[in-house]
Amino acid sequence: MKLNDRGLLVVISGPSGVGKGTIRRALFNMPKHNLVYSVSMTTRAKRPGEVDGVDYFFVSKEEFMKRKEEGQFLETAEFVGNYYGTPLDKVNEQLDLGNEVVLEIEVEGAQQVKEKMPDCVMIFVVPPGKQALYERLRRRGTESEEIIRARIEKANREFQLAHLYDYIVVNDEVHNAADRIMAIIRAEHAKTERSIHKYMKMIEEN
């Protein structure tokens, strides 16, 4: 018997370069889950190997702004010169179907989601140490020195925001971090406050 009609909204966030994307991919490769990834919209240029509609919906700045004015986003953020946003209609559609919707977004947008949908599950991914994060940002190698420096500065400010989250997950090994996130999602799903109404109704009817 299903105790929750509506799925969970799971926000995976954390400092720039911590490995959120890699963890998210590992999470979706795990067997037997009903997670749905919310594909974001962005104005940044496509990186080699990225696919439109899978990694992001790549749009022009004009189109992004038009959609923003029309209220089409759950949240938006500017990140190192580009815009990113979560399309609202798809999130609601999937939650209504009872699926767990996963957002992988930076911290500014995560705060907006918390304000608009307070029953979301907020997960903050942290590196095992600051040095590990800096090395990862440099190793990525797809950006100029200027952009890397901007991302490091941003990450240093973002470390301070951990207290706004429900859970902190250390990314020591990708599969460990993904396992921890899956455990959090399963436990949150079973929380009494999320299912008590439906459970009591069932008890009263039988």
Site residues (CB under 6 A) for ligand 5GP? 16, 20, 40, 44, 75, 77, 79, 84-86, 104-106, 108-109
Question: CB of 188: closest distance to ligand 5GP in angstroms?
Answer: 21
Please, which residue, 38 or 100, has the CB nearer to ligand 5GP? 38
Please, which residue, 50 or 119, has the CB nearer to ligand 5GP? 50
Question: CB of 19: closest distance to ligand 5GP in angstroms?
Answer: 10
Please, which residue, 31 or 49, has the CB nearer to ligand 5GP? 49
Question: CB of 164: closest distance to ligand 5GP in angstroms?
Answer: 14
Question: CB of 5: closest distance to ligand 5GP in angstroms?
Answer: 26
Tell me whether residue 151 is exposed, middle or buried, using C-beta atoms within 10 angstroms of its C-beta: 0 to 12, 13 to 18, 19 or more. Answer: buried
Q: Give one DSSP letter per residue of 102-118, joined into a string.
A: EEE--HHHHHHHHHHST
R_g (Cα) of the chain, nearest Å: 18
Please, which residue, 5 or 93, has the CB nearer to ligand 5GP? 93
